[in-house]
Structure 1
Amino acid sequence: MGSISLRNAGLTATDTLFSKLDIVIAEGDRVGLVAGNGKGKTTLLRAIAGKGELTEGEIICSRGLRIGYVEQDVPAGILDMPLYDAVLAVLPETDRASDSWRVDVVLVDLEVPDDLWQKPVRELSGGWQRIALIARCWIAEPDALLLDEPTNHLDLGKLLLLENWLERAARNIPVIIASHDRAFLDATTNRTLFLRPGNSAYFPLPYGKARMALDELDAAAELKRERDMKEVDRLRRQAAKLTNIGINSGSDLLTVKSKYLRERASKIEDNLNELHKERSGDIKLSNSGAQARVLLAIENFDVTTPDGRKLFRIDKLHIFQGDRLVLLGRNGTGKSQLMGHLHRAMTGQDVPGIRVSPQLNVGYIDQAMTQLPNKLSPLAFITGQFDNGDQRSKSLLAAAGFPVEKQDKPIATLSFGQRTRLGLLALRLSQPNFYLLDEPTNHVDIAGQEQLESEILAHGATCILVSHDRSFVRALGSRFLQIDGKRLKEVDDPEGFFAATVAG
């Protein structure tokens, strides 16, 4: 029976990320690993896989346990290899000729289309590259599986494919999944570990139910802290009162009792637990508002590829102030093409068929954050783009999760999560009244996703969203447009689209 045990495990970088972690992950345990960006998830997975170390404690695996680890990045050495060869290369060289059939089995099991098998990994979409990494891991027949952000770059179809594959193929082995996708965690895990600097929390529940249990735990901890602080205040006031009476009456007994009360207050204070707060940086938005009721009107418009190939047609569509419109469609149907056409029209270019209110001020981010100048530093970008001055810009960056030492480094060196936060900060500072958001939650941790949802709702922001994050779509959408064949149609909710995607 395979298992992974963590005993007093801890990790300290500049700050303590987690400590005193004691859990056992056994066969059939599928653990969702949840923490903010840069809070130790990847380091813990690497340590379990034998590719890194913790600063304290130990990791004990069952004798002979073969651990499969799927990292976030594609190894540079396989980028120019055909997909088939990249998977085959994992096998011992002496076995490749006789066991090449195993590559076929894995690729078929992961539903990789035949026409991709001989395509260089570099030319695959980001989603198929993720599937390729999983195939490379699975062909080695691991006894335990570690997945680091496996849903990055996956469209909804591949995401659901992965959910089904995990349920079918990895059901009876220990699995640990680090992910910010709440719906994916709910579908694939039966346990949840929330990494925290103090007391990490481990529940035998999938993410949604575990999150409710964690909120109850945090609420109880906050209530206890408030009661303890009141008790400390009461004891100190009582001690001061007894001290004064003791001095005035010359009573040594009252002085001793006063000392005892102060010591008791100090002991309670020393044992007060700091309440956990996610500190990956605030996400804030704004809405400069507009008087116009209709901000965008589209009539008789064909969405086309850059070479002019028609993807679908919009007969008539009006977007009103306050609409939160979600665009639904499989990959390749033209969602990003439409977003590009809209952005061009909103930034002053003539796009026949699209009418934009003169009051509209667009804030736009795309999946790759192409609006960020990679060679500049965050500080140079923010100070150059917005008239806030050095000191104000430094404060804004710090609040968004950029410590001073990262503010002068090139944007290209930042993690994807940090780049997204920088893009969202720039979005806010541009003071838009219309948000055009293409996969805005890519690489953003759960706390950040929830902040983004809250900000859009709180400001009554008008927006068009493209997202494969089902939790995000369900939380925000007020109108839903689905690309169906060669037409765009409005639907009541996204559930029909989700169900049809599951069905294939």
Structure 2
Amino acid sequence: MALINVRNLGVTLGAPLFTKLSFVVGAGDRLGIVAANGRGKSTLLRCLAGTLDSTTGDITRTRGLRIGYVEQAIPDALLSTTFYDMVLQALSAEQQETESWRVDVVLASLDVPDVLRERTVGQLSGGWQRLALIARVWVTDPDVLLLDEPTNHLDLAKIAQLEDWLNNLPRDVPVVICSHDRAFLDATTNRTLFLRPENSHAFALPYTRARVALDEIDAAEARRYERDMKVAQQLRQQAAKLNNIGINSGSDLLVVKTKQLKQRAEKLEDAARPAHQERSAGAIRLANSGTHAKVLVTLDDASVETPDGTPLFKTGRKWICQGDRIVLLGANGTGKSRLVGMIRHAITDPLASPDTVKATPSLVLGYGDQALADLPDRDTPFDTISRRFDIGDQRTRTLLAGAGLGIDIQNKPNSVLSGGQKARLGMLVLRLANPNFFLLDEPTNHLDIDGQEALESELMAHEASCLLVSHDRSFVRAVGNRFWLIEKRRLVEVESPEAFFASVSGTQS
């Protein structure tokens, strides 16, 4: 049964985000929507929710349908509200009086600890804020649930928890999910819509299998286009020969034949459409200046501690060697960021670092943190690049445009950039630093799938040496060639991340 019917929908905001889009959302659907940053995913959700009118086409909903729409950001007005009250206030005044038990049921289903329920939303971590938004919508008992980037700011444990929660919802409640998390889409969806300006494609498959099917369609269209262009070129060449013969012989028949061949070529060219090429939100490129050193970082049983001196774990004797792409695994709070900070300090200020953490002097560090703290809000993208690198104004503007930061936003404060734009600016800074060793903390945060795959390709193509922390399982599997796990206050090397991923998921079952 179709609960939402989308027919020939189109939205144009300066340029078309999508056109002639038709699909239905029915009971039991778990629909993943995939597109590059800024290509209309959130816009489509707002259209489905009824908060935004489309440019063309229409959406029909079954009578009385209750749609629950979970947006990405918490309204500022709710930041001073407690977790519990934020969810309670989503109910009507009468329900708040007689059905407050609904709040307890929803918070219990999301495993919200009692101590957090009375904490103000502004004091919560980004992950708990995301779950608070979901709880606030789910308590209203919607018939359809729309989720916009639900895994943003979630660690692996909370992602697994959210996956289990979604998979345990009543099967007749359809869920529509916009996400760049490939593993999450595979775990929670059974349909995939690839949103494009023209010719969007939908498949009754989860993301990875749907992507294979889409790539086959794109490849077939590319072959068809090349074939049609080749035939059109042959027709034009044949027409040119006949035209010369016709002129020399004065044959009207050959002139007519020449005209017919040209018309056939034009018809083929007009009908042919190039295969879809995703309009990247900006190129991601990295550099690798190289180093002759084989061992880049040595950990000699270093003690990793909290700021107040509480021991977290010991590293044992470990080495980071040239070509290593080491993924640091461990539950939240075990000290991953502390170890990254110690290694960073050993590279940037070796004289003030303990002897247990040593870096080769030839290292040039490329560092990226998940908060993008190295990109001050008051600076502009132009300032960010021009003040750090002596490359000239024109080169700066060209590189920014290539990273997806057009002239219109190059002189605006970094604070107004989207998460994806900030991430690409951070990657540009890394590239221009020309590092030979990368420390990356959640590098795929805010990157769309196109950007994630580009970053994966760059790291592997340059045989980059790096230590990285990531909650993106697809990224970890694609990039890592060594894996360190913080377990029982020790740093141990494991063959793969799969046992850790399974243990995190298992804690939520």
**Normalising TM by the smaller chain, what interval?**
over 0.9
Q: Which residue number corresponds to residue 261 of structure 1? A: 261
Aligned counterpart for 1:422 among listed residues 422, 425, 440: 425
Code of the aligned partner of 1:477: G
| CA deviation after TM superposition for structure 1 residue 402, in Å | 1.2
1:398-449 alpha-carbon deviations (Å, 9 max, x no partner): 1111111111111110001100000000001000000000000001000100
Q: Which residue number corresponds to residue 105 of structure 2? A: 105
| CA deviation after TM superposition for structure 1 residue 2, in Å | 5.2
| CA deviation after TM superposition for structure 1 residue 300, in Å | 2.3
Q: Distance in 1 between matches of 2:186 and 2:401?
A: 33
Aligned counterpart for 1:401 among listed residues 404, 414, 436: 404
Q: Which residue number corresponds to residue 488 of structure 2? A: 485
Q: Which residue number corresponds to residue 337 of structure 1? A: 338
Residue 355 of structure 1 aligns to a residue whose secondary structure is strand
**Residue range with higher mean Cα deviation, 247-256 or 318-327:** 247-256
Q: Distance in 2 between matches of 1:219 and 1:170?
A: 38
Q: Which residue number corresponds to residue 145 of structure 1? A: 145
- How does 1:462-473 map onto structure 2 within 5 Å? 462-473=465-476
| CA deviation after TM superposition for structure 1 residue 274, in Å | 2.9
- Whether 1:297 and 2:298 are equivalent positions in the alignment is yes
> Structure 1, unaligned stretches of length 5 or more?
none
Q: Which residue number corresponds to residue 346 of structure 1? A: 347
Q: Distance in 2 between matches of 1:97 and 1:484?
A: 47
Do 2:222 and 2:274's aligned partners in 1 also have CA atoms closer than 8 Å?
no
Q: Distance in 1 between matches of 2:273 and 2:332?
A: 47
Q: Distance in 1 between matches of 2:196 and 2:369?
A: 31
Q: Which residue number corresponds to residue 239 of structure 2? A: 239
Q: Which residue number corresponds to residue 182 of structure 1? A: 182
| CA deviation after TM superposition for structure 1 residue 337, in Å | 1.5
Code of the aligned partner of 2:441: D
Q: Which residue number corresponds to residue 229 of structure 1? A: 229
- Whether 1:173 and 2:189 are equivalent positions in the alignment is no
| CA deviation after TM superposition for structure 1 residue 170, in Å | 4.7
| CA deviation after TM superposition for structure 1 residue 134, in Å | 0.4
Code of the aligned partner of 1:400: A
- How does 1:74-113 map onto structure 2 within 5 Å? 74-113=74-113
Q: Distance in 2 between matches of 1:346 and 1:59?
A: 57
Residue 253 of structure 2 aligns to a residue whose secondary structure is helix
Code of the aligned partner of 1:180: H
1:312-370 alpha-carbon deviations (Å, 9 max, x no partner): 11121111011000000111111112112221121115221210100111100101100
Do 1:2 and 1:65's aligned partners in 2 also have CA atoms closer than 8 Å?
no
Q: Distance in 2 between matches of 1:329 and 1:301?
A: 17
Q: Distance in 1 between matches of 2:48 and 2:137?
A: 15
- Whether 1:383 and 2:386 are equivalent positions in the alignment is yes
- Whether 1:366 and 2:362 are equivalent positions in the alignment is no
Q: Which residue number corresponds to residue 210 of structure 2? A: 210
Query: Deviation above 3 Å: which 4+ runs of structure 1?
Result: none
Using the size of structure 1 for normalisation, the TM-score is 0.98
Q: Distance in 1 between matches of 2:175 and 2:251?
A: 66
Do 2:219 and 2:275's aligned partners in 1 also have CA atoms closer than 8 Å?
no
Residue 309 of structure 2 aligns to a residue whose secondary structure is coil
Residue 90 of structure 2 aligns to a residue whose secondary structure is coil
Q: Which residue number corresponds to residue 54 of structure 1? A: 54
Do 2:2 and 2:24's aligned partners in 1 also have CA atoms closer than 8 Å?
no
Q: Distance in 2 between matches of 1:2 and 1:156?
A: 34
Do 1:2 and 1:174's aligned partners in 2 also have CA atoms closer than 8 Å?
no
1:186-240 alpha-carbon deviations (Å, 9 max, x no partner): 0000111011112111111000000000110010010001001001101111111
Q: Distance in 2 between matches of 1:171 and 1:501?
A: 25
> Structure 2, unaligned stretches of length 5 or more?
none
Do 1:68 and 1:145's aligned partners in 2 also have CA atoms closer than 8 Å?
yes
Residue 302 of structure 2 aligns to a residue whose secondary structure is strand
Relative to structure 1, the CA distance from residue 171 to residue 388 in structure 2 (aligned partners, 3 Å threshold; closer, same or farther) is farther
| CA deviation after TM superposition for structure 1 residue 64, in Å | 1.1
Residue 97 of structure 2 aligns to a residue whose secondary structure is helix
Q: Distance in 2 between matches of 1:90 and 1:138?
A: 9
| CA deviation after TM superposition for structure 1 residue 99, in Å | 0.8
Q: Distance in 2 between matches of 1:361 and 1:106?
A: 49
Percent identical across equivalent pairs? 57
Relative to structure 1, the CA distance from residue 259 to residue 153 in structure 2 (aligned partners, 3 Å threshold; closer, same or farther) is same
Q: Distance in 2 between matches of 1:74 and 1:336?
A: 26
Residue 193 of structure 1 aligns to a residue whose secondary structure is strand
What is the alpha-carbon root mean square deviation over aligned residues?
A: 1.0
**Residue range with higher mean Cα deviation, 311-320 or 447-456:** 311-320
Q: Distance in 2 between matches of 1:439 and 1:491?
A: 20
Q: Distance in 2 between matches of 1:423 and 1:143?
A: 40
| CA deviation after TM superposition for structure 1 residue 98, in Å | 1.3
Q: Distance in 2 between matches of 1:57 and 1:274?
A: 25
Do 2:327 and 2:483's aligned partners in 1 also have CA atoms closer than 8 Å?
yes
